[in-house]
Structure 1
């Protein structure tokens, strides 16, 4: 059953991309979101790719929940629907890209081109001047299906530095902003990326306000004008009525605290649309598991809370008893580590975990694994991604391996023991609600 025919709608929109990671995209996107929010605008921000941490920061900056968009993971129609939904209520849509503009399949450029959103190139120009203009010009002309609004020169040393870049840019590629070096607006980081927003809320507020002043100090103020409007069209989404009742009457308990927070809002919406009731609990603090039919242990930072997780014997016993009943449990990445017998943290201290899955987890410092994969489950295939800096050993024989997006080597192992399905893969539930429902419907 398709949606009723609806009219297109226009909304100012800008896609912030870069030549590489670590150019300042998140800082500038957050600063823009806060600036326009302070002007009374309703700003909807999207993040390209399967990122969990940047959306937390951007949501606090804009005051509105941030969703991840990726054509491969979510599908073209899903992305189109989300843009159309946002355009109906927003005064401005901002999209933060991932990695470099043309990196990945699909890339940030692919998403921008598909929905005709103009791109702003964010570039750390420390140590170069006219070369920054050359790089920006090359990126702007690399493909003829993208439109580049201009360059944001980040970490400019002086107005003279900015002038050299400005003069070297072609007329059709303006300098949108020249932003000085300022450590007071840099966002805090750790081994998997940015620090979670709920851990540093007050500090972030100070940095957001400083970042607004930082934007306003630029001699090039085009970035503080609303970008051009983009026309968004309604998507022809197919609604399968059978999906709506797949989890009717089921209550799913979701681990949610400082150790487990890598949760897509889209996944929660998918579960509730299938009829599930959601309740949250903290493996760090709670002593009793909520009354539930199934359990979801998402990813996060259990390696930063190993001692507290190990010492909360009461909740560990509750989860172990839940597992013994054969009920459905999904454990993803950090949830997988928590499910193992032991976990060795970044300080090389080893602590006992749940022990509902044989094996031992350990952190690997800077080495890790990331990338898009398809999870091969008994109930079907689910689009997913991996991003971790740990390893697991002495685990049971996997039931399958993830299928990598662009490489023939086997991906992440998928384990199933009784009602437990565990993997390093983070699943995107809307890509296959039926397969996901089967995990949580285990009796």
Structure 2
């Protein structure tokens, strides 16, 4: 019987064929990374739980493999408090002691930087202490988030324990996107169709001829939001686009990987990209999706049948807009936003925040004049970080705020006040809305 991508990857690591539903007691991993939220407590957990234990058996206290372990301060940088600053200091010092890589504040968001640097390759099993580690599935890797305890155990042993091989939900993309429609619209459309729990405990595998029309930046956006339909992770096969991306970049051997033609899937859905429109997710759930042309109808529905996850929305007016995050802060996202904004101004009632996802993206956008477009239009451009996305700093929302964001979540209180309302959309839709001061269709601004 044929195997899916996840079955193949796990089989290689355990040295025997495995299939969905099998429990693996000790699954070896190939890459592990920590951010500044989970990194410091994980380091403390590692020291407290493994130093004496390893020394008892005559083994020095050390991480499983320094070359495969990374620390990336990204969530709360530049540090906005003494505890955050001390946590980053701890990660830097620990990295020096164990010989692993620690990135600097401002280098970028974990789910962007490691791929940029060629650290993630096909066949990898990647653990990261953030739920959007699934972004790395665009590299042909099995990648998922873990918490503090699993993180420091993996730091010591190089394993994840009691892993059940998940089933796979196949999403076959066909056709090609119309102008003004982007990969964010693809994944919002899918989440809106299957629902917030529509891919629960399964791997979302994205494939089909339509995928071949999408760039690596676009693919990472899709995999990034797989968890918003409760998927274990998202994943894509190796192809010519990924091969070109890894050429001259990969720090590890690259081997092709694809699911077998006779692989067994739990479910299959076909999405015709040519039929899609710009999408918007209403608060307070990424699955509350409608097209931009049907926003008035969605507003009416929210007022008629509100729920805790689908709150009443009074109008399409916005006060804030955010272009950035691990979902949509890459180079092509900034280009899409600048294409809409060039020669125009941000609405006087809107605060537009723009945050490139990495230092490399920032530098390229600056060199090519893209950042100047945002600055001259009245946007606030900040250094690479996650701050606004999870409501820590650099754009925390007030109780009266109505934000349209290119990030991945719009849960109640996600970006600040629990009374704020957050809409999700593509970078182009975010910027078009920032121009008009209300949720807007970006296609009217594209020649």
User: Taking structure 1 as the reference length, what is the TM-score of the superposition?
Assistant: 0.25
Higher relative contact order (CA 8 A, sep 6+): 2
User: Taking structure 2 as the reference length, what is the TM-score of the superposition?
Assistant: 0.25
Choose between structure 1 and 2: higher strand proportion: 1
Choose between structure 1 and 2: higher helix proportion: 2
Structure of greater Rg? 1
